[in-house]
Amino acid sequence: MSEKAERPSPQPEPIRFFGTGWVTHDTGYWLRRVGVSLGALVAAGAGALLMRLGVQGVFVSAAGSLVDTLLVVAVAICTCVAAIRTWTLLSKGRASLDGWMADEKSIGPMLLIGFVGMLVAYFLRSLFEAPGEAEKRSRYELALAAHARRRTPATAGSGGKRKRR
């Protein structure tokens, strides 16, 4: 076997709920996007109701206005951080997260408290595209371009010649 073995073309990575249909937007892509959007919206509504019941329990305990205010501010901050992190993760990928936002262990409790923000970000992102599609599409297109470059034969005069300075 003196010839190089033909490398198979790169395959797209599947996305949860969408498989590989996100590449060509076939196999019920739009129906799935609507379903994911509605599912995230319903889950966010149920989560907001659950969070309201939890916060209402603290209000009923009459712990004081300072405790009530601190609780509401903490939940709002956690929700915003979770939403921003989720939006960034879905649109740009894990590599774009840096610092404390990238550390799962340090931000875990904030994400747990701010889960409604995560669901709202997921809902909003799914209105534009399948969540995570932009990052996977850019990686897939880079892999296809690299595969095409490897398949293109080199020109006759390009081998081994270097420009001297």
Write out pLDDT tens, residues 61-119. Answer: 888 889 889 999 999 999 999 999 888 888 777 777 777 777 777 888 888 999 999 99
Q: What is the mean pLDDT of the chain?
A: 83
- Residue 27, sorted as left (phi over 0), alpha (psi -120 to 50) or beta, turns out to be left
Distance CA 50, CA 105 (A): 24
* Secondary structure of residue 4 in the 3-state scheme: coil
- In the structure encoding, which two tokens stand for residue 159, read together? 């081998």
pLDDT at 151: 76
Q: What percent of the chain clears pLDDT 90, i.e. is strictly above it? A: 28
* Secondary structure of residue 140 in the 3-state scheme: helix
Sign of the CA dihedral with 77 first, then 82, 87, and 93 last = positive
Question: Does 156 score more than 60 pLDDT?
Answer: no
pLDDT at 2: 42
pTM of the model: 0.75
Distance CA 160, CA 96 (A): 38
pLDDT at 1: 46
